């Protein structure tokens, strides 16, 4: 199977995700506010059950020694488990500031564009500017 056809298999997975993000209201600014005000279980239930299902399924894949489509080996751990490094807590807190204001993390930014909230193109452009600024300043930022 050629590379292009292999890439096409990720499109339906995205469609699935876009539908769930929208119908589960994960992309709702109001739902994110509700979460950060601890006034509903909705978002905690979503994140918690998503993590539980992902953990169980990943364990099963490793435990059974399952292989990817086409026979490749499955690698489940790529991020180094480096603990309390600066980048995780400083970067994480800055991301949280943005998440609280915008009410959308990267996946939902794309999903909101699909929902016709066209001003999210501005948010996407701002996020790209932020990512670019990170790349520019990265050599001078504390990471470890």
Partner 1 sequence: MIETLSQPWPWWVAGPLIGLIVPLLLLAGSKQFGLSTSFRQICAATAPGQIEYFRYDWKRGMWRLMLILGIIGGATIAATLLASPDPIVGISPATHADLETLGINDFKGMVPSEFISWSGLLTLPGFVMVVVGGFFVGFGARYADGCTSGHAISGLSTFQFSSLVAVLGFFAGGLVATHLLLPLIFGAW
Enumerate residues 83-122 that contact partner 1 by CB under 8 A: 83-85, 87-107, 109-119, 122
Token output for 138: 């990265």
DSSP 139: G
Burial 32-48 (b: 16+ CB within 10 A, else e): bebbeeeeeeebeebee
Rule CB under 8 A: say whether 79 interacts with partner 1: yes
Rule CB under 8 A: say whether 63 interacts with partner 1: no
Rule CB under 8 A: say whether 65 interacts with partner 1: no
Rule CB under 8 A: say whether 81 interacts with partner 1: yes
Q: How far apart are CA 100 and CA 1, in angstroms?
A: 43
Candidates 5, 64, 139, 140: give the one binding partner 1 (CB under 8 A).
Answer: 139
Q: How far apart are CA 114 and CA 17, in angstroms?
A: 12
Smallest separation, CB 101 to partner 1 (Å): 3
Candidates 1, 12, 63, 65: give the one binding partner 1 (CB under 8 A).
Answer: 12
Token output for 128: 């790209």
Smallest separation, CB 14 to partner 1 (Å): 2
Interface positions, 29-48, toward partner 1 (CB under 8 A): 29-37, 39-48
Rule CB under 8 A: say whether 1 interacts with partner 1: no
HSE (side-chain half, CA atoms, 13 Å) at 8: 5
Token output for 67: 């292989």
Smallest separation, CB 2 to partner 1 (Å): 13
């Amino acid at each position: 199977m050629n590379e292009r056809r292999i890439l096409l298999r990720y499109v339906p997975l995205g469609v699935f995700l876009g539908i769930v993000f929208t119908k589960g209201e994960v992309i709702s600014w109001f739902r994110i506010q509700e979460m950060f005000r601890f006034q509903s279980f909705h978002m905690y239930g979503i994140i918690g059950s998503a993590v539980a299902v992902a953990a169980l399924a990943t364990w099963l894949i490793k435990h059974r020694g399952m292989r990817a489509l086409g026979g490749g080996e499955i690698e489940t751990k790529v991020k180094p488990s480096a603990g309390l490094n600066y980048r995780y807590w400083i970067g994480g807190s800055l991301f949280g500031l943005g998440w609280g204001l915008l009410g959308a993390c990267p996946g939902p930014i794309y999903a909101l564009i699909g929902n016709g909230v066209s001003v999210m193109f501005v948010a996407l452009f701002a996020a790209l500017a932020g990512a670019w600024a990170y790349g520019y300043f990265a050599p001078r930022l504390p990471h470890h």
